[in-house]
Chains A and B, each alone.
Chain A
Amino acid sequence: MRGRPNLFTSYEEEMRLFPTTTKRVMLVVALVLAVLLPLGQLPGLRFLGDSDWLIIIDRALIFGIAALGLNLLTGVSGQVSLGHSFFMAVGAYTAVVLGADAGRTVWGLGLPMWIWLPAAGIVAAVLGILVAPTAVRVRGLYLAFVTLGLVFIGLHLWRSVEAVAGKPGTGRPWPALELALWKGDPIISFASAGPWFGIELSAQAKSYFFFLFLLIVFALLAKNLMRTRPGRAWAAIRDRDIAAEVMGVNMFRWKTQAFAVSSFYAGVAGALFAAFLGRVIPESWDLLLAVEFIAIILIGGAGTITGTLLGTVFVVLTPRIVEAVTFWMAEELANQGTFAWLADLFIRKSPDDLLGFVSTDAAGPGLSIFQLNVVLFGVLIIVFLIAEPLGLYGIWIRVRNYWKGWPFTY
């Protein structure tokens, strides 16, 4: 209702995705910025168009899809899962078996992407459905353990079935990201540089558009699931499963669906991830990867789409930023720049340095950048769980409510 944002005359009106003009305008602006980004035209942030940054951003887009799936399972329906990396691996290996060419020791059917990408999701979803009955029986910490088991079973499988996963330590090549009708030349290739509509684009920029499109589709799908019947059923289960069952929410059905949908997201993301990197070793699908997704939804804000996306960007980009900052500090120290004193506190120069604790090279004294990142995530998860359980999204909500409540506080 014009000028009356709180007057709802139907439920459809109340559930609209973009209810106000402001939100619609913001959406268009965000889309325009998203298109400018890979072209290196984003004002003030032109460097994001460089291919080393684009690789990380592409990775964030793929992780975003996987995180949306985990968010539906853990954030919305409250089923803590540590097995997300397992389902990603299932998707990735489905893709490689269907899409890659057969080798001497490995299987492969060489099918086009429009077959292997959906199949990756479907096979993962079927496995999710197989796991779901356990989730109906156990909950909370116990479910976390069950799914943790999956990761280790998976790691063992990928290492032992070389016909699927390739040799441990080297893996095998994945099919390229390209759309073809059948096994012939691709119609659109996301894996090689070339012009689109007269604009010269790198392979990373092309993949970026492809991933962005998929992410938007998956995000809208997730949002629609959340605001309709499945979402309400999941939220009811999350808030109090016994009460939900008393109200007539079929526990078995909805938990199974949650696992199926979440695994589908993971499968597709796994296939994209492997195909984007080109070659993945079996050991990659480990617990650390699964924990990274838990970190994403906890830091971003469990149970929300915006939070999940914020968390993904944060978790994927932070290591790169930490790295950049560390190298910049080392440089300051070497050149005795303005901030050398700060860098001096931070960087460990020799084994007998008492204050500094970070070292720029992996073999050097102190924490490596990689270790620093792991520590940082651990600390962040603790801080967020204690201080801001709704994550980055919660911070945003508080900022928004401050202005929404103006001039009152409540």
Chain B
Amino acid sequence: MTTTMERRGTPDLSGAFPTVAYRVREWAEKDPDRVAMREKDFGVWQEITWGAFWDRVLTAAHGLLALGVRPGDVVSIHSEDRPEWVILDIATVAIRAITTGLYPTNPSAEVEYLLNDSGAKVHLAEDQEQVDKVLDLGPDAFPVLEKILYVEPRGIRSYDDPRLMYWNEFLELGRRHREEHPGAVEELMAQAEPDDVMTLVYTSGTTGPPKGAMLTNANAAFCMEKIINSPGRTADGVLPNPSDEVLTYLPLCHVAERIFSTWTMCSNGVRLNFAESIETVQANLREVQPTLFFAVPRIWEKIHATIHIKLEDATPFKRLVAALGLRLAAIIGRDRAAHGGDFTWKSRLAYWIGNPLFFRALKERIGLRHCRWAGSGAAPIAPEVLEFFMGLGVPVYELYGMTENSAVATCNFAHRVKLGTVGEPYPGIGLRIDEETGEIQTKHPGNFKGYWNKPEATKETFTEDGWLKTGDVGLWVDGTHVKIVDRIKHIIITSGGKNISPSEIENALKTSPYIKEAMVIGDGRKYLTALIGIEYDTVGNWALRRGIPYTTYRDLSEKPEVIELIQKVVDETNEKFSRVEQIKKFRLLPKELDHEDGELTATQKLKRKAMEEMFRDLVESMY
């Protein structure tokens, strides 16, 4: 594929603020024929070069102009990760408008709230499912919305809503506009200000309705400087570069995936590979073998559980090798954890033995063979899981940040890893732990501009002297590393007056491959209890091997053998905690938790208040 970019007549942008769009254009000029992204389509990874990518961005930007989108307007995207997501995102920033993303799982009611709260003028709905979420609410539900773009025409062709427009039609519109007004987009790019809001990232809203955090071009630039281009992150000190492969699979509307996919791509030219869907992540991982990989704890736990299940199902000889390999991994993991993540001669020796026998093949199977940096963040993870991957030789580092500070807070740097902490603050940023409340606060150019149309909420988020209140309680470990205790509002105070952090206990429970969800309860009560959701696949597999018949999730959860199995896990976990922190009773959830049923947020976090309401009977039965 050759580039169609015309150099003649392109306005000179030197001196303009380096927005994400500016950076994409730079890469496209420097190396138009290099592959920028791949998307799996009809079983084959179709490639898009930088030149073609920029060409489409430019056309889409003209299309937006033709649709009447002006600087400061909002464009919303409701889609799984795919090239069109990134193209429209960059195109929107190019014309100084604002992108906001919706989770593919957002139900109709939340779509209504998010579109109206942001005041989106143009909305991209991936396919019929997402289009229906908008159209179902009737023609008058969205006073500001003017156009609905769709990428997958299947099932939509017969719709006659005048607001609908097919993606190719939109690009055609853009092409005509581009011919009539050449340079119009570049003109706007040249005017970009650091203080321009480039995106609204909606908080997950575990308590109230989601709020749109405004991130500016300067925020993004600061994030790229501090997180993406911090040389201490990888063991070899090599920054992300065009030879790196990234798998894009977490929702792009979340700030973490935006940073580790789109922004890393814009700033350092890594190659994006779009996973087909969240269900195929493990298969896609194996194909792509990414070199940089970010995952949320849920994914790490899932990979961890899959490894154990598959090893248990292996033939006897393989099981024997696996038992040996896992023992070596445990030794290596413990040794590395004790030495800041580095190998000592002892763990190096164990690794040399285990690698050709077991680790290398295992890493190839889980798709992390070429992985040189892996991250875990967005939620707390159990140190045991990290230690396990460290033992296999997958360099996983936990980091911490939140939307409101562009995710710039702390990170475990290579050679100085402390498991159980979220690492050290990035050099040169302001990060303090409030003496009184123990709350972590940050102050640096990554701090967001405020919540969209919510000046009150914005004011509450900052202290009087301008520090951002993260809402997380933290501790200094050895004066350098930060350990997160919990969200302030999650801390449990028992009737005995003890302060307990539930997430630590929950994560310890979730280390077991059999447990998917755990919610510790005990605020104002005499002792702690837990609601536990089993991992359907692994427990189902376990039941199958023991010849326990079951029909549904609920049926499986109610089996006495399963309750016994979970009791054993709970007992083991209790041994790691002091008496007051032990789970006295638990109940298994009768259903799998779901975003659409209101038990989880779009990022799969528990909505604790809602859960306590919904499973009141279960909770009360334990007291």
Contacts and interface: CB of A to CB of B under 8 A. Distances in A.
Interface in A354-410: 402, 405-410
B38 interface: yes
B45 A7 contact: yes
Contacts of B370: 3-4
A407 B38 contact: no
B362 interface: yes
B313 A407 contact: no
B315 A407 contact: no
B288 interface: yes
Nearest to A4: B289
A152 B47 CA distance: 58
B44 A4 contact: no
B66 interface: no
A84 B314 CA distance: 44
- For chain B, which range describes its interface: under 10, 10 to 19, 20 to 34, or 35 or more residues? 20 to 34
A402 B313 CA distance: 13
Contacts of A8: 43-45, 287
Contact of A409 (B45, B245, B286, B314): B314
Contact of B361 (A11, A406, A409): A406
Interface in B21-77: 38, 43-47
Contacts of B310: 408-410
A9 B46 contact: yes
B365 A14 contact: no
Contacts of B488: none
A16 to B, nearest CB: 13
A10 interface: yes
Given A7-B45, A9-B47, A11-B44, A407 B318 contact: yes
Contacts of A10: 44
B44 A407 contact: no
Interface in A1-32: 3-4, 6-11, 14
Contact of B318 (A6, A9, A11, A406): A406
B468 interface: no
Interface of A is mostly: loop
Contacts of B365: 405, 407-408
Interface string B476-507: 00000000000000000000000000000000
Nearest to A12: B44
Interface string B351-382: 00000001001100100011000000000000
Interface in B139-166: none
A408 B310 CA distance: 6
Contacts of B288: 4, 7
Given A3-B370, A6-B286, A407 B361 contact: yes
Interface in B278-294: 286-289
B325 interface: yes
B338 interface: no
Interface centre among B44, B288, B321, B322 (most CB of A within 10 A): B44
A407 B47 contact: no
B311 interface: yes
Nearest to B283: A6
Contacts of B361: 406-407
Interface in B241-257: 245
A40 to B, nearest CB: 38
Contacts of B314: 407-409
A409 B38 contact: no
Interface centre among A3, A14, A402, A408 (most CB of B within 10 A): A408
Contacts of B245: 4
A402 B286 CA distance: 18
B44 A3 contact: no
A409 B315 contact: yes
A69 B45 CA distance: 35
A408 B318 contact: yes
A1 to B, nearest CB: 9
Interface in B380-417: none
A14 B43 CA distance: 10
Contacts of B45: 7-9
A3 B289 contact: yes
Contacts of A405: 365
A407 B322 contact: yes
B44 A409 contact: no
Contacts of A408: 310-311, 313-314, 318, 365
Nearest to B318: A407
A346 to B, nearest CB: 35
A11 B322 CA distance: 36
B325 A407 contact: yes
A407 B321 contact: yes
A92 to B, nearest CB: 45
10 contacts: A4-B289, A4-B370, A7-B288, A8-B45, A405-B365, A406-B361, A407-B314, A407-B362, A408-B311, A408-B313
